[in-house]
């Protein structure tokens, strides 16, 4: 029965040209369908290493998205994920839609220039560009533990953001485009003293001065004219008059952010030209970032968080009535890619028809990934609370198992109790053997108590099948959806099985 239940439909039915929220994607049981409406409310999959979360429920959901014509963004942590998604796309006739961004691919995405020159409301606003840059830097700051123990950390960060804001304005006014290397050149060539501004040698060599001259000669709107005045005040009056220590710390803070993007692979991928943008998912492309964290380390993590954030901002801007194709955001080993923005994104992405799927081993991974402090705990709770479908596989982590048990909740249950007695001292040996009923003067009583008890005890998550040949290639999982009663169980949760192999 389970084999029939999760067997994929033959010949892959024609994909819809209009997607309705009531469209069925898969079935958890014979009577329990999972629809597009459920998918765009977010999915969390938790299970210990080897529990079958990727090959079981993960593979089932991935194939259903591809078969239904979703576009999507896939983040990678392990080196085999590209091959895995190529197999998914091949099975669902979507290999032609797969776009790989990686060291051996031709795809490039100048993220700052894209934000400057994209179409739509809010395009070209300097503050949006600065916010984009500072958000993707959260991962590097977190990894480095920057600002830890420093009361003035926020002061230097705000100074660096102001420095970046003026550099973005200057470069965009002068050239009509913006990239991280150009911003770095402006900051490094800005005048250090009021006297230096008048030096011919500095003027000839300074990229900052050249941009000031270029921007001065360009035709500008009234708003740009005003902004150019602010930029001139910053570089001619404010920056050279800062104390050497203040200026050097602000510059060092900015350069610490930008350093990864002015060299090597990240410069090639994100600071040259643009051949792919996140908007491609709206036409059905599946963008896979082939920079697995296990191989590329911080570079791979940084690149994928950058593209993820740009994807999130882009997909939330689209007009669903004109571009109704659903999109998914897929992150296995999701703790490597979460940022504080994910919490805000997940609260509103349903309206943009984005199906977020986060896979990880346990609850604590997310808290640690977000910084491991009280703020991280709150952000973890907020993020996971907005993933409405939760799938739990075999797990030995007590924190995760107690969280899952509490999430499913308690119900009124009846507990039976009983006791017996033996009043004759000479017959106590009978009582010791459990033969109280043979005692002289014996008595017994029984009863029932109504108690509130967890519907699924934490220990049950340690007993789920993990697939493989020993379990017939089936993986057990407990599916929970808030506000839903499953026909297969009559409860808000359902124990089901997922096929690992066809």
DSSP calls for 94-149: -GGGEEEESTTS-----HHHHHHH-SSTTTT-HHHHHHHHHHHTHHHHHHHTTTTT
Q: Is residue 28, in this structure, part of any structural domain at all?
A: yes
Tell me, yes or no, whether 261 and 142 share the same domain.
Answer: yes
Query: How many independent structural domains does the chain possess?
Result: 3
User: Which residues make Cβ contacts (< 8 Å) with residue 158, sequence separation at least 6?
Assistant: none
Decide: helix, strand or coil at residue 163. Answer: helix
Q: Is residue 485, in this structure, part of any structural domain at all?
A: no
User: Which residues make Cβ contacts (< 8 Å) with residue 245, sequence separation at least 6?
Assistant: none
Q: Is residue 491, in this structure, part of any structural domain at all?
A: no
Structure tokens at 10: 């033959």
Burial class (CB in 10 A: 0-12, 13-18, 19+), 146: middle
- Quote the CA–CA distance of 332 and 337 in Å, as a whole number: 9
Structure tokens at 9: 């439909």
Cα–Cα nearest to 369, from 470, 137, 360:
360
pLDDT of res. 444: 55
- Quote the CA–CA distance of 27 and 204 in Å, as a whole number: 69
Tell me, yes or no, whether 424 and 391 share the same domain.
Answer: no
Q: What are phi and psi for residue 275, nearest 5 degrees?
A: -120, -10
Bridge-based pairing of strands 354-360 and 286-289 is unpaired
Tell me, yes or no, whether 432 and 390 share the same domain.
Answer: no
Q: Is residue 472, in this structure, part of any structural domain at all?
A: no
pTM for this structure? 0.85
pLDDT of res. 424: 52
- Quote the CA–CA distance of 183 and 172 in Å, as a whole number: 10
- Quote the CA–CA distance of 267 and 414 in Å, as a whole number: 65
Q: Which residue, of 267, 295, 317, is where some domain finishes?
A: 267
Residue with tokens 């017939």: 472
Structure tokens at 292: 């697995």
> What is the domain-level CATH number for residue 81?
3.40.50.300
- Quote the CA–CA distance of 119 and 83 in Å, as a whole number: 35
- Quote the CA–CA distance of 124 and 396 in Å, as a whole number: 49
- Quote the CA–CA distance of 46 and 363 in Å, as a whole number: 8
pLDDT of res. 259: 86
Tell me, yes or no, whether 281 and 426 share the same domain.
Answer: no
User: Which residues make Cβ contacts (< 8 Å) with residue 385, sequence separation at least 6?
Assistant: none
Cα–Cα nearest to 92, from 57, 65, 52, 74:
65
The single-letter DSSP state of residue 95 is G
Tell me, yes or no, whether 150 and 61 share the same domain.
Answer: no
Residue with tokens 């990229």: 207
* Positions in the chain whose pLDDT score sits under 50: 1-14, 146-150, 429, 433
Tell me, yes or no, whether 59 and 16 share the same domain.
Answer: yes
Per the structure, the complete domain to which residue 142 belongs is given by 111-267
Tell me, yes or no, whether 281 and 162 share the same domain.
Answer: no
Tell me, yes or no, whether 88 and 194 share the same domain.
Answer: no
Q: Are 393 and 56 within 8 A, CB to CB? A: yes
User: Which residues make Cβ contacts (< 8 Å) with residue 52, sequence separation at least 6?
Assistant: 393, 394, 466, 467, 468, 475, 498, 500
pLDDT of res. 483: 85
Tell me, yes or no, whether 259 and 166 share the same domain.
Answer: yes
- Quote the CA–CA distance of 397 and 24 in Å, as a whole number: 33
Tell me, yes or no, whether 84 and 126 share the same domain.
Answer: no
pLDDT of res. 193: 94
N- to C-terminal Cα distance for the chain? Answer: 14
Q: Which residue, of 240, 267, 294, is where some domain finishes?
A: 267
Rounded to the nearest 5 degrees, what angle is found at the Cα of 193, between the Cα atoms of 190 and 196?
Answer: 75
Q: Are 285 and 71 within 8 A, CB to CB? A: yes
Tell me, yes or no, whether 76 and 190 share the same domain.
Answer: no
pLDDT of res. 168: 94
Q: Is residue 353, in this structure, part of any structural domain at all?
A: yes
pLDDT of res. 8: 40
Q: Is residue 486, in this structure, part of any structural domain at all?
A: no
pLDDT of res. 131: 83
Tell me, yes or no, whether 115 and 262 share the same domain.
Answer: yes
Q: Is residue 479, in this structure, part of any structural domain at all?
A: no
Residue with tokens 């550099």: 167
Q: Is residue 476, in this structure, part of any structural domain at all?
A: no
pLDDT of res. 434: 56
pLDDT of res. 154: 78
Bridge-based pairing of strands 354-360 and 327-332 is parallel
Q: Are 6 and 52 within 8 A, CB to CB? A: no
Q: Are 7 and 64 within 8 A, CB to CB? A: no
Length of the chain: 502
């Amino acid at each position: 029965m389970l084999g029939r239940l999760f067997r994929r439909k033959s010949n892959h039915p024609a994909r819809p040209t209009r997607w309705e929220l009531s469209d069925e994607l898969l079935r958890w049981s014979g009577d329990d369908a999972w629809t597009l409406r459920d998918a765009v409310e977010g999915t969390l999959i938790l299970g210990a290493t080897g529990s079958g979360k990727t090959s079981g429920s993960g593979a089932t959901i991935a194939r259903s998205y591809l078969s239904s014509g979703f576009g999507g963004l896939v983040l990678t942590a392990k080196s085999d994920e590209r091959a895995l998604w190529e197999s998914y796309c091949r099975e669902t006739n979507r290999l032609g839609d797969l776009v790989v961004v990686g060291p051996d691919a031709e795809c490039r995405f100048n993220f700052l220039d894209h934000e400057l020159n994209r179409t739509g409301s809010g395009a070209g606003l300097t503050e949006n560009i600065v916010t984009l840059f500072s958000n993707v830097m959260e991962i590097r700051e977190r990894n480095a533990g920057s600002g830890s123990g420093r009361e003035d950390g926020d002061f230097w960060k705000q100074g660096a953001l102001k420095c970046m804001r003026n550099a973005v304005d200057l470069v965009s006014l002068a050239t009509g485009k913006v990239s991280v290397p150009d911003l770095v050149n402006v900051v490094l060539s800005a005048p250090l003293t009021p006297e230096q501004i008048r030096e011919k040698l500095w003027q000839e060599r300074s990229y900052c001065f050249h941009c000031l001259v270029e921007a001065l000669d360009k035709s500008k709107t009234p708003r740009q004219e005003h902004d150019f005045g602010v930029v001139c005040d910053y570089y001619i009056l404010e920056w050279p008059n800062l104390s050497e220590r203040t200026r050097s710390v602000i510059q060092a803070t900015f350069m610490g952010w930008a350093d990864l993007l002015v060299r090597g692979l990240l410069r090639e991928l994100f600071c040259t030209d643009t051949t792919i943008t996140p908007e491609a998912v709206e036409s059905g492309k599946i963008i896979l970032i082939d920079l697995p964290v296990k191989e590329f380390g911080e570079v791979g993590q940084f690149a994928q968080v950058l593209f993820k954030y740009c994807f999130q901002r882009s997909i939330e801007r689209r007009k669903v009535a004109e571009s109704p194709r659903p999109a998914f955001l897929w992150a296995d080993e999701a703790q490597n890619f979460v940022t504080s923005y994910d919490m805000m994104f997940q609260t509103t992405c349903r309206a943009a028809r984005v199906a977020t799927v986060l896979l990880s081993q346990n609850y604590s991974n997310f808290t640690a990934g977000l910084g491991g402090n009280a703020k991280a705990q709150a952000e973890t709770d907020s993020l996971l609370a907005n993933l409405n479908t939760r799938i739990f596989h075999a797990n030995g982590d007590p924190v995760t198992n107690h969280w899952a048990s509490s999430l499913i909740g308690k119900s009124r249950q009846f507990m039976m109790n009983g006791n017996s007695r033996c009043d004759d001292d000479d017959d106590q040996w009978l009582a010791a053997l459990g033969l109280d009923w043979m005692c002289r003067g014996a008595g017994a009583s029984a009863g029932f108590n109504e108690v509130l008890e967890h519907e699924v005890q934490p220990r049950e998550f340690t007993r789920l099948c993990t697939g493989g040949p020993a379990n017939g290639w089936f993986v057990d999982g407990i599916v929970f959806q808030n506000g839903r009663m499953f026909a297969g169980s009559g409860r808000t949760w359902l124990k089901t099985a997922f096929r690992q192999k066809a």
